[in-house]
Structure 1
Amino acid sequence: MSPDPVAALREVGFWLERSRADTHRVKAHRRAADLVEEMSPAERDRHAAKNSWSTVRGLGPKTVAIISQAVAGDVPTYLAEQRAAGAAPLAAGGAELRAALRGDLHVHSTWSDGGSPLAEMMATARALGHEYCAITDHSPRLRVANGLSAERLQEQWAAIEELQAELDGFRVLRGIEVDILDDGGLDQERALLDQLDIVVASVHSNLRADSETMTVRMVTAIANPRTNVLGHCTGRLVTGERGVRPESVFDAEVVFEACRQFDVAVEINSRPERRDPPSRLIELARDTGCLFSIDTDAHAPGQLDFQTYGCERAEAAGIKPERIINTWPVDRLLGWAGAKKTAAAKQAAQKQAARLRAGRRS
């Protein structure tokens, strides 16, 4: 069955993103999809009847050919070529582990610095076989990434609730990638963090701090009962359009022991330009007894298939599926993620009660 022109253009964008094609090529197809989608039915019918798509400003020869062939009831030639090229797996290993994954816990949308709307990201995750996916847009301090203020985060929750009603059998998790502040604090209101399903805590600033400073900063964030996943721990970039960046320096033995002690999963970030942590640190975290989360850090639909890269690396390090939190059923995952917050709230209540009793005695 041939797709409609909008679906055809978006699918081409998916395959181009997946193959790590130049950004401008991807954007050209997504812009074309938006143009056609925004047309009234009468306008679309008029262009289809006259085959006048080339007169539409913003459409080029390739996108016009895709639209024309899809409207004619054919699978566009360029789409067929992209599907054929995408039939090969992205990585040589990790297939069994990828099949065991039930979800992705680090994904961005146009609410912050992602390239596609929330609905498209979640629909793609579902189409890739996931049972759940967390939306983890950035926190307020990361203004360069359009981080979400407290108000915008709550607005996103309303959008998630509306979208959830359309995705029967698939769970959209409320999450955040919260910036780890210089003092180790988390960059969002505590009361809002308490209401999230998943909190990924990552360092995005002062990446060249000395080892002691960075270690204290990271351990403080890990010890916070609201932190569930330590994101891209070294912050390195090994390739890509943004260039390269060296690893941050910290005492990995101390940081990973803190992850083990405070029940925080170490993220294996699947983005090809990150490959974070490096293999030696994945092995150290494994030997320390840490849990893991294999995530894409996707900013576009085609990048949601990058999990295969992370699975290949986890498999090479001998990480067992039961130690990877996104192989767990959603109820187990949410129970695990919420347990620390519940325990912390209970402890805080007990301390408050003790202070009140002490005040009455005095």
Structure 2
Amino acid sequence: MDPVRALRLIAFHLERTGAPGYRVRAFRRAAEIATATGPDELRRRAEAGTLTQLESIGPTTAGVIAEALAGRDPAYLVELTERDAPELVGGHELRSALRGDCHTHSDWSDGGSPIEEMATAAAALGHEWIALTDHSPRLTVANGLSAARLRRQLDVVAEVNERIAPFRVLRGIEVDILADGRLDQDEELLAQLDVVVASVHSLLRMPEREMTERLLAAVANPHVDVLGHCTGRIVVGRGRPESQFDAKEVFTACAEYGVAVEINSRPERLDPPRRLLRLAVDLGCDFAIDSDAHAPGQLAWLGYGCQRAEECGVTSDRVINTRGANDLLTRSRR
């Protein structure tokens, strides 16, 4: 077991199980220090018992490094892995068919990790690609990307792709659907992107007819590939009710325009609810089973979406992220 990988895996599992951010950051920082120190110096310090003299290396992270260098799976990692085993009763076939994730966030907006960290974690899960879909400018609470910042991000994505090939980060955005159905980003810039997820984040309780027209306008936009978390509901804590709209009308438009309905895998969303998911199946929609991950550990939430998709009759041929990146891009440029 490589000690750096062990530290990163621990951070991954802590994140997935909702551990406090400072604990996750402690293991990620320790992984950075271990990388900079190098294996020979780490081994020398482990033998001398001086690992904790390194910056940001405490007794727990030092123990993980020492166990890994000794050829053992660190006990803390084993414990976390066993505790973090997802309680899924189905969806395994769909999960194994997924080759990428159409909805992820980085620290450019409200995510917690750099682009390359997200990509590395996705590759470790067996993905071939992810779409980077940080927020658009009007979502200021999420540090949404202005057109200028998005253009800079596209340059960074190109650099990352050179380093991590053949894994691929697709250029994308989660663009806000404004109250009148327009999209919150320059149209010419949206045309340059590989994946556009369009979602409602404001005025979630507008009247049903107005919300229906709002979603229909977004779905009809030729740049939109995925309709994100369509009801906006939250199912944990105090929760948030579903937005009201004519689902038959909206999903019929999705099928007509080739816009995939997102099956959002975040445990607090699980959107759309099963009755609407079954309706979308009956109306001939395609789907994107997405993690909506804001941190590397959350990329593994896809299983929750796969389980619900299987329960509602979604087959792999109707899930766009079962495709390779090139096939997906061919579809998105319909």
Q: Secondary structure at 1:290's aligned position in 2?
A: coil
Work out which of the residue numbers 228, 234, 238 in structure 2 matches 1:237.
Answer: 234
Question: Do the aligned residues in 1 keep the contact of 2:33 with 2:55 (CA within 8 Å)?
Answer: no
Question: Do the aligned residues in 2 keep the contact of 1:90 with 1:308 (CA within 8 Å)?
Answer: no
Measured against aligned partners, the alpha-carbon deviations of 1:102-127 in whole angstroms (never above 9, x if no partner) come to 11100111111111111111112122
Cα RMSD between the aligned structures?
Answer: 2.3
The residue aligned with 1:273 is: 268
The residue aligned with 1:170 is: 167
Rate the CA distance shift 1:60–1:239 in 2: closer, same or farther, 3 A.
Answer: farther
How far apart are the structure 1 equivalents of 2:37 and 2:60? 19
Q: Secondary structure at 2:155's aligned position in 1?
A: helix
How far apart are the structure 2 equivalents of 1:309 and 1:45? 40
How far apart are the structure 1 equivalents of 2:19 and 2:163? 31
How far apart are the structure 1 equivalents of 2:32 and 2:138? 30
The residue aligned with 1:283 is: 278
Q: Highest CA radius of gyration, 1 or 2?
A: 1
Question: Does residue 1:98 correspond to 2:95, yes or no?
Answer: yes
Matches within 5 A, 1:78-97: 78-86=76-84, 88-97=85-94
AA of the residue aligned to 1:160: V
Q: Secondary structure at 1:106's aligned position in 2?
A: strand
How many matched pairs? 334
How far apart are the structure 2 equivalents of 1:3 and 1:45? 12
How far apart are the structure 2 equivalents of 1:64 and 1:333? 43
Q: Secondary structure at 1:166's aligned position in 2?
A: helix
The residue aligned with 2:74 is: 76
User: Percent of counterpart pairs with the same letter?
Assistant: 55
Measured against aligned partners, the alpha-carbon deviations of 1:270-326 in whole angstroms (never above 9, x if no partner) come to 011110001111011111111111000011111111111111000000111111111
Question: Does residue 1:336 correspond to 2:331, yes or no?
Answer: yes
How far apart are the structure 1 equivalents of 2:36 and 2:125? 26
Q: Quick check: 15-24 or 262-271, which moved more?
A: 15-24
Q: Secondary structure at 2:156's aligned position in 1?
A: helix
Question: Does residue 1:253 correspond to 2:252, yes or no?
Answer: no
Q: Secondary structure at 2:170's aligned position in 1?
A: strand
The residue aligned with 1:207 is: 204
The residue aligned with 1:344 is: none
Measured against aligned partners, the alpha-carbon deviations of 1:185-232 in whole angstroms (never above 9, x if no partner) come to 111111110000110000111112121221111111111111110000
How much does 1:29 deviate? 2.3
Matches within 5 A, 1:1-362: 2-4=1-3, 6-37=4-35, 48=46, 50-54=48-52, 58-72=56-70, 74-86=72-84, 88-239=85-236, 243-339=238-334
**Could you state the TM-score of these two structures normalised by the residue count of structure 1?**
0.85
The answer for unaligned runs of 5 or more in structure 2 is: none
How much does 1:38 deviate? 5.8
Rate the CA distance shift 1:209–1:263 in 2: closer, same or farther, 3 A.
Answer: same
Question: Do the aligned residues in 1 keep the contact of 2:119 with 2:169 (CA within 8 Å)?
Answer: yes
How much does 1:19 deviate? 3.2
How far apart are the structure 1 equivalents of 2:279 and 2:21? 35
